[in-house]
């Protein structure tokens, strides 16, 4: 038996990418899954893929940019299944354009999905975790929340907020004595299609991450209840480098090609 056997795991953004791959991993380990996404066809396909696994799989179509939809879907989940053991806030979107080229509504949607949805899902499911005496809230943030870059103003700002959300929730839970674990995940670009076209100058230091590797590391971090996972390790260099003058900091970002990494970005087809 694995650590996840019979645990109820809710994953947002589960119709594709690492969300869907995490669902497969949890299913293989005997978890009961609740999958959310705005993409109904993708959710149905994911459910069919997982039908042979021992745990049950429930799918709910939900627009993560809509607070009322999140609360309504959460109420349905709680009515249908009771509290969840692990909440994985994975859903995310990216514009990939310079600030002046991003429509206002796209900026608002980025923050609604990447940041505000964290608040609504956690507020919906945290009381059940507290009453049950255990729970784990996982936030899929980004290395882009640690260091900004061109063509990513909305995305990086939304992910920086996600990192602060996790940190504050962790400290607040300790302060209030809540039986809650938190984990924040901060990966560099992942080759799932969401960041199709991105480039890295030094692949041996900052590789475009393989989704299989990322999912394996995330599963390990959740199982071990790690507080934070940053991939690759080279990203940790950002923290001491921030002590440098801004001109030196910016120069290092330029040298490592980070500020040009989105120049050839195309994103996932159809998005």
Residues that are catalytic: 155
User: In what helix (H) or strand (E) does residue 187 lie, and over which residues does it extend?
Assistant: strand 180-187
Give the residue carrying structure tokens 């692949």: 203
Q: How far apart are CA 214 and CA 207, in angstroms?
A: 12
Q: How many other β-carbons are positioned within 10 Å of the β-carbon of residue 195? A: 23
Rounded Cα distance, 161 and 145, in Å: 7
Helix 104-111 × helix 153-176 angle, to 10° = 30
Backbone angle region of 196, left / alpha / beta, with phi > 0 → left and psi within -120 to 50 → alpha? beta
């Amino acid at each position: 038996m694995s650590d996840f056997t019979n645990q109820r795991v809710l994953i947002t953004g589960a119709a594709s990418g690492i969300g869907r791959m995490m669902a497969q991993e949890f299913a293989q380990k005997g978890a009961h899954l609740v999958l959310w996404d705005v993409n109904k066809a993708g959710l149905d396909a994911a459910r069919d893929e997982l039908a042979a696994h021992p745990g049950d799989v429930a799918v709910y179509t939900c627009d993560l940019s809509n607070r009322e939809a999140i609360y309504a879907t959460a109420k349905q989940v709680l009515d249908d299944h009771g509290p969840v053991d692990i909440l994985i806030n994975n859903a995310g979107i990216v514009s990939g354009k310079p600030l002046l080229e991003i429509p206002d509504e796209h900026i608002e949607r980025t923050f609604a999905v990447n940041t505000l949805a964290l608040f609504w899902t956690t507020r919906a499911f945290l009381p059940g975790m507290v009453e049950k005496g255990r729970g784990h809230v996982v936030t899929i943030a980004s290395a882009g929340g640690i260091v900004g870059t061109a063509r990513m103003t909305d995305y990086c700002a939304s992910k920086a907020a996600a990192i602060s959300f996790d940190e504050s929730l962790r400290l607040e839970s300790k302060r209030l004595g809540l039986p809650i674990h938190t984990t924040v995940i901060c990966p560099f670009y992942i080759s799932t299609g969401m960041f199709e076209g991105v480039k890295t100058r030094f692949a041996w230091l900052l590789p475009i991450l393989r989704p299989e590797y990322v999912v394996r590391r995330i599963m390990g971090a959740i199982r071990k209840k790690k507080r934070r996972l940053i991939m690759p390790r080279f990203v940790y260099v950002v923290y001491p480098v921030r002590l440098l003058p801004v001109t030196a900091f910016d120069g290092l970002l330029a040298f490592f090609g980070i500020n040009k990494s989105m120049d050839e970005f195309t994103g996932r087809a159809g998005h």
